[in-house]
Amino acid sequence: MPARSAVITVMDRAARKAGRSLARDFSEVEHLQVSKKGPADFVSKADQRAERILYDELLAVRPGWGFLLEEAGEIAGEEGMPRWVIDPLDGTSNFLHGIPHFAISIAVQEPKPGGGWGEVSAGMVYQPLTDDLFWAEKDRGAFLHDRRLQVSARRNLSETLIATGIPFKGHGDLDRFNAIFNAVAPQVAGIRRFGAASLDLAWLAAGRYDGFWEADLQSWDVAAGILIVREAKGFVTDFRGGSQPIERSEFLAANDAIHSKLHKIVAGALRG
């Protein structure tokens, strides 16, 4: 059983408390589907409630740390202190439609000595309805609860299951997505779009998926998931193979062999 650090324990408690709030709210969504007002306002409030719980819980135990929040934006902490990067409800559309696939994502980002933000040192993705708790710390490995994770060992692209996200109204570059999809799809066993990037990455770390690509994601969507994949011995780059995918908002992840093959396909599709 891995020894959990104090920061992981803090994240665990906060995620579970916010998760209980989301689970209660999710149980009400199906009853709102037939109302004239609809569930959209309710879900927005559920998102905000979860974020507030996370903020209050984490602030209480790390009062000098900053925050980057999906809803409330950036809240500065004390100089030289880390910050929390938080998505309180990744998979909002799933939640809105009563689909039980969503998660809380929390990461710890370290400050750079000269200013700005550097590496993520800890990350957690929590799926409240299944009680799956994925977490990792820099150089200490990735875990599902207390079981160590490692990415899939598949080497043949034809056997792989790949996760992605599909552009939708007002979001993303559909032409770029179609170019990549048309190049990848004929060479793999399947492509899945489940609607929560944090869980896509956590499932990749657990070996459930063999690869992942998506663009136009925010840092709070992926900060925790990227660390979890890398600590599970996976690779995460941008579409051109760069090591800072958040800067380009391009994300390509897999084990070493599959990543190399996917990278060639994706790069070729973008050149074409």
Nearest to 252 by CA among 207, 200, 206, 208: 200
The band of 34, judged by pLDDT with boundaries at 50, 70 and 90, is very low
DSSP annotation string for 106-157: EEEEEEPTTSSEEEEEEEEEEETTTTEEEEEETTTEEEETTEEP-------G
Give how far the C-alpha of residue 70 lies from the chain's centroid of Cα atoms, to the nearest Å. Answer: 13
Tens of pLDDT, residue by residue over 190-243, are: 999 999 999 999 999 999 999 999 999 999 999 999 999 999 999 999 998 888
d(CA 113, CA 95): 39
Q: Which tens digit of pLDDT belongs to each residue from 130-164?
A: 999 999 999 999 999 999 999 999 999 999 999 99
> What's the pLDDT at 31?
63
Is the per-residue pLDDT at 38 higher than 80? no
The confidence band for 2, taking pLDDT boundaries of 50, 70 and 90, is confident
Whole-model pTM?
A: 0.94
Residue 101 scores a pLDDT above 60:
yes
Secondary structure, 3-state, 98-120: CCCCCEEEEEEEEECCCCCEEEE
Listing DSSP states for 217-268 in one string gives --HHHHHHHHHHHHHTT-EEE-TTS-S-HHHHTEEEEE-HHHHHHHHHHHHH
As a whole number of Å, the end-to-end CA separation of the chain is 48
Rounded mean pLDDT, 66-83: 92
SS3 label, residue 214: strand
The predicted pLDDT at position 97 comes to: 87
Residue 169 CB partners (closer than 8 Å, separation 6+)? none
Summarize the confidence of residues 44-50 as an average pLDDT: 89
| pLDDT tens, position by position, 257-268 | 999 999 999 999
pLDDT digits (tens, 9 = 90+) for 243-254: 889 989 999 999
